Structure 1
Amino acid sequence: MTNALHILVVEDQAAIRANIATYLEGRGHVLDFAGDGAQGLALALAQPYDLVVLDLMLPGMDGLAVCRALRARASRHIPVLMLTARDSLADKVEGFGTGADDYLTKPFALEELEVRALALARRHLLNTEQVLELGALVVDRQRREVRRDGLPVRLNAIDYRIVEALAEAYPQVMTRSELVWKIWGDEPTESDALRTHIYQIRRALDKPFDRPLLKTVHGVGFVLEV
C-alpha cells in the first residue's frame, strides 16, 4: 500500500485493539499498541510514528494527559486522533485544547478510522509546506495569499485563516466547532461570526468563477471541493 502508515494505537480495551489491528493491518498499515497512557506516551516519544490513535478514557494517565505531555515533550508534531465515547462540544474543545488534531466518537466504522488517519497524515505533510496547491486553488502561507486559476483572491486576515484551515483539512469536512476553535480558540466571539466570514469568502473565492469551491455540508460544517 503506497499510503501505508506507522500508527500507534493507545487503547485499553482488547476487543477494540483487535478490531483495529485486523482491519488496518489488513489494509497494509503497520501498528504498535499500548494498553495504558504511560506506555503509550513512552512509545510515542521513542518512535517516529505517522499517527497516534489515542483513547480518551485510559487507566491511570488519561488521553488528555497523554496528549498534553506529548505536545510538551515531543521534538516534532505527531498527529493525534482521539477516540472518545463523549460527544459534547465541551469535551471536544478540551481535547483540541490539549493538542488533539481530530476526534472520532465511539462506536465508529473502521473505514472512517482509516479515512481520518490518512487525512491527518496528509494534513501533517501539508502543514510543513509553505505553498498548498489544491487544483486551481493555491494557498501561499509565506505571503498569506490565496490564488484561484492564477488570479489573486482578496481576503481579510480571518477569511484567509479559514481558507488555510480548510485547505489543510482537505478533503475532510471541518465542523463548525472545529473551525471556531481553530480561528478563535477559547476567545469569546459572536454566534454568527463564522457565518459572516463564510459569506465573505464565498463572495471573493467563488462568485467570480463558474464553479464554487467552498461547500456547506448541512448539519456538519464546510469542505473545499477542488
Structure 2
Amino acid sequence: MSNKIRILLVEDNIDLAENISIFMQTCLHEIDHVSSALQAIDLIKTFRYDVLLLDVMLPGMDGFTLARTLRNKFNCSSPILFLTARDSMSDKVEGYSSGADDYLVKPFDLQELELKINAIVNRANGVLNEHLILEKLHLQPQSRRAFFDTQELTLTQMGFCILHTLVLAHPKIVSRAELEETIWQGNPPESDSIRSHIYILRQALKTVHNDSIIETIHGLGFRLNANNIS
C-alpha cells in the first residue's frame, strides 16, 4: 500500500476533477481541488502539499504561468505534474522550463497518474542531504541549489536531478536507461522526455560557460566534460 500523499489538484473540468479526487481517496491519499490558479496560490500560501497536479488551460492564469509564479515568487518546492491535452514538444519544453517535474497527456489512466505521483514524490523525498563539490560545480541536494564557481544556476527540479546524477557518476558515462531509472524509478513516460530535460539543462549551463558542460557520447549516454568544469 502506498504512503498517504497530500495532493493539490488545479483543474477546471469538474467531472475530471471529481474522478481524480475519488480515485486518489480510494488510494488513501488526501486531495484538495480548486479550479483556478488564484485559488491554488491561496491554498499553497497556507498549506504544504506533497505534489501539485496542474491543468494547463485554466481560467485567468494558465498552468505554465502558475508554475513559474509558484517557483519564482513563492519559492514553492513541491513537485509539479502537468495534466494536459497539449502534447507537442514545444509545449513539453515550456512545461518543464516552467518548473514541472513530469507531464501526463490527457486522456490518461488514473492508475498511471497514481504511479507517476508516487514516483515523483519518492524522488523528491529521496534527495541526499550532503553537499557535493566537483571542481567548479557545487550542489546542495537538500535545497536543490546548484552553483558553477560562485554563480547560482537556475535549474528545473528535473534538471537538478540529472545534474546530480551526472556529478555522482563522474567521470563515468551515464546511459539514457540509467537516467530514466533514476528520474522515473522504472516507470518512464512514453515520450522521449529525457531529450527535453537535457536540452533545458544545457541551456541553463550555457549561462555560466560558453562550452558544453554535458557531453553526449553517441550510443552510450551522457557525462560531464571534465575540461569545462575545472
TM-score (norm 2): 0.67
Amino-acid identity (%): 31
SS in 1 for 2:126: helix
Q: Does 1:145 align with 2:160?
A: no
Indicate the residue corresponding to 1:68 in structure 2: 68
| Structure 1: tracts of 5 or more residues without a match | 133-140, 147-152, 202-226
Aligned residue-pair number:
184
Indicate how the Cα distance of structure 1 residues 195 and 25 shifts in structure 2: closer, same or farther if over 3 A, else same: farther
Alpha-carbon shift at residue 65 of structure 1 (Å): 1.1
Aligned to 1:37: 37
Q: CA deviation at 1:46?
A: 1.9
Deviation at residue 170 of structure 1 after TM alignment: 1.8
- 1:135 corresponds to: none
Matches within 5 A, 1:1-226: 1-130=1-130, 144-146=167-169, 154-155=171-172, 159=174, 166-173=181-188, 175=192, 176-181=194-199, 183-185=201-203, 194=216, 196=218, 199=220
Task: Please report how far the alpha carbon of residue 166 of structure 1 lies from its aligned counterpart in structure 2 after TM superposition.
Answer: 4.5
> Which whole-Å deviations, capped at 9, do the CAs of 1:119-178 have from their partners, x for residues lacking one?
01011112344599xxxxxxxx599333xxxxxx8416xx49995674233223263434
Q: Any stretches of 5+ residues in structure 2 without a counterpart?
A: 133-140, 142-163, 223-230
Q: Over the residues paired in the alignment, what is the CA RMSD in angstroms?
A: 3.6
- What is the distance in 1 between the residues matched to 2:103 and 2:11? 14
Please report the TM-score for the alignment, with normalisation by the length of structure 1. 0.69
Deviation per CA, 1:40-91: give whole Å up to 9, x if none. 1221232110000000000001101110000013345110000111110000
Residue 106 to residue 194, structure 1, CA distance change in 2 (3 Å): farther
Q: Distance in 1 between matches of 2:165 and 2:216?
A: 24
Q: 1:127 to 1:34 in 2, by over 3 A?
A: same
In 1: Cα distance, 2:127 partner to 2:200 partner: 14
The code of the aligned residue for 2:102 comes to D
